[in-house]
Amino acid sequence: MTRRADDLLVAGTLVISIVFFRCAAAVAATEYVRPPPGRVIFTEHTKPASHPQQVHVSLVGANHMRVSWITEDKHVKSVVEYGKVSGNYTASATGEHTSYRYFLYSSGKIHHVKIGPLDPGTVYYYRCGMAGDEFGLRTPPAALPVELAVAGDLGQTEWTASTLSHVGRSDYDVLLVPGDLSYADAQQPLWDSFGRFVQKYASRRPWMVTEGNHEVEAAMALPGWPRPFTAYAARWRMPYEESGSGTSLYYSFDAAGGAVHVVMLGSYADFNSSSEQYRWLARDLAAVDRGATPWVVVLLHAPWYNTNAAHEGEGEAMRKAMERLLYEARVDIVFAGHVHAYERFVSSILISAIARTTRVYNNEANPCGPVHITIGDGGNREGLAFDFRKNHKLAPLSLMREASFGHGRLSVVNATAARWTWHRNDDADSTVRDEIWLESLAANGACQQSSSAAAAADSQNDEL
Positions marked active-site: 311
List of residues 6+ apart from 26 with CB closer than 8 A: none
Q: Which strand (E) or helix (H) includes residue 390? A: none
Q: Tell me, letter by letter, the H, E, C secondary structure of the chain.
A: CCHHHHHHHHHHHHHHHHHHHHHHHHHHHHHCCCCCCCCECCCCCCCCCCCCEEEEEEEECCCEEEEEEEECCCCCCCEEEEECECCECCEEEECEEECCEECCEECCEEEEEEECCCCCCCEEEEEECCCCCEEEEECCCCCCCEEEEECCCCCCEHHHHHHHHHHHHCCCCEEEECCCCCCCCCCCHHHHHHHHHHHHHHCCCCEEECCCHHHCCCCCCCCCCCCCCHHHHHHCCCCCHHHCCCCCCCEEEEEHHHCEEEEECCCCCCCCCCCHHHHHHHHHHHCCCCCCCCEEEEECCCCCCCCECCCCCCCHHHHHHHHHHHHHCCCCEEEECCCCCEEEECEEEEECCEEEEECEECCEECCCCCEEEEECCCCCCCCCCCCECCCCCCHHHCCEEECCCEEEEEEECCCCEEEEEEEEEECCEEEEEEEEEEECHHHCHHHCCCCCHHHHHHCCCCCC
DSSP conformational letter for 88: B
Pairwise CA distance, residues 102 & 229, whole Å: 11
